Structure 1
Amino acid sequence: MISPRTEFFAGLKAIAPILLGVVPFATITGIAAVEAKLPAGLAIASSVIIFAGASQLAAMQLIRENGAFVVIVLTVLVINLRFTMYSISLAPYFKNLASWWKGLLAYMLTDQAYALSIIRYNERPQQPAKHWFFFGASVGLWVTWQLGTIVGVLVGAQVPASWSLDFAIPLTFIAVTVPAIKGRRELIVAAVSVAIAVAAAGLPYNLGLIVAALVGVLVGLVLEAA
């Protein structure tokens, strides 16, 4: 019998290589908060409360540009819509958990933890204590994200642009996507999603991301039924 402790550390170990790319991502978000004129305490608190990198970064950029409150809220909601799809995908594995567990895991849901966990769950559908793997991966990322954000808040704009820390953002997503491509169907879905995302990049409020995700899901369903 695999113990919760074993699963927790398996999740922590699985997320570890990805954390190298999360650090600069979090640091950029902290810097963006400072540039948006948020007090240090509020910037750090917002990272703890929101814990959603892409939407945090987008919100800070809009605040810095004096974007309308409604626009900021809509942008954050649209960017985070993908978590609805993640939740639906994970629901069968967590359906028997207590409500407090579900609430905690919902708060800690990220692209990286989801990708690692769903791959493992598909490979080991009968594995006990599944949620502990997800929790371990999430804890590792949460701690790294908060520390990276704090560093960004403290250093502010002192990091030179030549460091190109923003290059780490797509790398973190590539790192969790590539291992999931194990066959022709996954490759087709990934290729179509990327093509749609690039073509729809000009849509407002980051809608291109949602459109690409929905098209990818539809393509996957069609291929699975074929």
Structure 2
Amino acid sequence: MKSAYGDYFDGIRAMLPLLPGAVPFGMIAGAVAAEAGFGTAAGIGQSVVIYAGAAQLAATQLVAVAAPALIIVLTGLVVNLRFAMYSASLASHFTGLSLRHRALLAYLMTDQSYALTVARYGAAGSADSAAKARFYLGGAVAMWIVWLSATAAGFLLGSRVPPSWSLDFFVPLSFLALLVPGIRDRATAAAAATGAAVAVIAAGLVFNLGLFVAAACGIAAGYLVETRYAARGERK
């Protein structure tokens, strides 16, 4: 019988291939904060308080151009709206856990931890909530440590990383590594293709609304394809 520690280590092992992709992303977030004139406490501390890569980058850039506080907050909320969908999807896996425990899971949520948990346990899964939470925490804590270390390194290095390194290229590669294994049927393929197309078309929308619009359109496309083929199956 596997010990409780085995679940934590399983989560860490599953997350290991994705950790290198977070390093350049975190360094970029830290370097942008340094270039925006943040102090050490704010530049590095925002990774602890906010802990959301895309939202950190967007908020930091808005602070640098002296945007109104309301716009900065709303932009962060819009960029992170996808986590509300992630939370709804994972809620059934963590039933029975205390509010404090679920709050910790919510704080540590990333695209990677969500994708790995869903890939491991699917729609339901046979493990109990505590075992699922241990797997989730193993990977999520590993990502949290790497992200904080990377943003701190990026902040301290500042703009000394040569632009020719093109570190930002690793960011989409990291997301592609999460996306491709999740495309398993027509519905997920339709969701991915629609979301990608709309994201490109809507990239110029104000306040980064293109991300939310693309996510909503991708979900709608996947749902329509899934229900269409389900209806065909019922008629057979």
Q: Under TM normalisation by the shorter chain, which class is it?
A: over 0.9
Alignment map for 1:63-142 (pairs within 5 Å): 63-122=63-122, 125-128=125-128, 129-142=131-144
2:180 to 174, 178, 181: 178
Partner of 1:33 in structure 2?
Answer: 33
SS at 2:144's partner residue?
helix
2:190/2:225 contact within 8 Å kept: no
SS at 1:126's partner residue?
coil
**Separation in 2, partners of 1:93, 1:3:** 20
SS at 2:122's partner residue?
helix
1:195 to 197, 213, 223: 197
2:26/2:154 contact within 8 Å kept: yes
Unaligned runs of at least 5 residues, structure 1: none
Partner of 1:213 in structure 2?
Answer: 215
Pairwise CA distance, 1:84: 0.4
**Separation in 1, partners of 2:116, 2:200:** 24
**Separation in 1, partners of 2:4, 2:61:** 40
2:79/2:211 contact within 8 Å kept: yes
Pairwise CA distance, 1:37: 0.7
Partner of 2:160 in structure 1?
Answer: 158
Unaligned runs of at least 5 residues, structure 2: 229-236
* Amino acid aligned to 1:199: I
2:151 to 144, 149, 152: 149
Pairwise CA distance, 1:123: 7.2
SS at 1:38's partner residue?
coil
**Separation in 1, partners of 2:110, 2:67:** 26
**1:134-168, Cα deviation, whole Å (9 max, x unpaired):** 11110110000000011011111111111111111
* Amino acid aligned to 2:126: Q
Aligned-pair Cα RMSD in Å: 1.3
**Separation in 2, partners of 1:157, 1:22:** 18
2:170 to 168, 171, 176: 168
2:224 to 219, 222, 225: 222
**1:26-49, Cα deviation, whole Å (9 max, x unpaired):** 000000111111111221111111
**1:189-222, Cα deviation, whole Å (9 max, x unpaired):** 1111111111111111111111111111122222
**Separation in 2, partners of 1:138, 1:161:** 30
* Amino acid aligned to 1:126: S
Pairwise CA distance, 1:64: 1.4
* Amino acid aligned to 1:100: R
TM-score computed with the length of structure 1 as normaliser: 0.96
Partner of 1:13 in structure 2?
Answer: 13
**Separation in 2, partners of 1:205, 1:59:** 10
- Evaluate the alpha carbon distance shift between residue 178 and residue 138 of structure 1 in structure 2; reply closer, same or farther with a 3 A threshold: same
* Amino acid aligned to 1:221: Y
* Amino acid aligned to 2:197: A
State how many pairs are aligned: 226
